[in-house]
Amino acid sequence: MQKAILEPSSHKKTCEQPKVERSSKKSSRGKVHTYDKTKPIDDDVITHILRLRGKLGWQTMLPSCEQLVRETDVSRLQEFTLTRPVLLKDTGEYMYCLQRNKNNFKVPYNPYDLQAVSTNTAMQNEVYWTVTASFVSKFSAGRNLGEMETTPVPQWLYERQMYYKLLSFNFFSNFR
């Protein structure tokens, strides 16, 4: 039985501060929400997951292809994801993310291809994600109320791996 272990390759500086000029003029329309416009240097969500979990000394393991087939491993993964994040102390550091190619209609839909973005960019969208060492959370803003879906990181990585396995099948690839 093989296990792929993901470890952070290095702890790099993750954000760069842009030079921002501030004006002392106040707008007369009321309160305008402004958020941090700092853009991450590396926009790969997996790199940030590894960095956040590596800071805490947590191993990030993905099951091998043979394990993905067995249902017992799925139930063991579900037990792990339900109990493990509760036991560990997360620092609360998080990254905002958006789907990488959401406006490019030539690229197939991929909910697992997330791109780290600035807070300001995320808040301008109706749907965005936050990624911590423990959880990946999807936020959807409705008309008046918002909705949040939270998934533990090991389960999200497992689902992501299964999604990419399904994409590799050539089902209806030559359909005419």
Q: Is the per-residue pLDDT at 159 higher than 90?
A: yes
Domain count across the chain = 1
CB neighbours of 17 closer than 8 A, spacing ≥ 6? 38
In a domain, 6, yes or no: no
In a domain, 117, yes or no: yes
Query: Mean pLDDT, to the nearest integer, of 24-42?
Result: 60
In a domain, 58, yes or no: yes
Confidence at residue 136, expressed as pLDDT on a 0 to 100 scale: 93
- More confident position, 150 or 175: 150
Lowest-pLDDT range, 40-49, 110-119, 154-163?
A: 40-49
Query: Mean pLDDT, to the nearest integer, of 117-134?
Result: 90
Give the Cα separation of 113 and 67 in Å (integer): 23
Q: Is the per-residue pLDDT at 61 higher than 70?
A: yes
Query: Mean pLDDT, to the nearest integer, of 131-153?
Result: 87
In a domain, 23, yes or no: no
This prediction's pTM:
0.63
In a domain, 88, yes or no: yes
In a domain, 28, yes or no: no
- More confident position, 65 or 47: 47
Confidence at residue 168, expressed as pLDDT on a 0 to 100 scale: 84
Question: Residue 85: which domain range?
Answer: 36-167
Reported confidence tier of residue 53, pLDDT bands at 50, 70, 90: confident
In a domain, 172, yes or no: no
Q: Which residues of 19-33 are buried (b: 16+ CB within 10 A; e: fewer)?
A: eeeeeeeeeeeeeee
In a domain, 12, yes or no: no
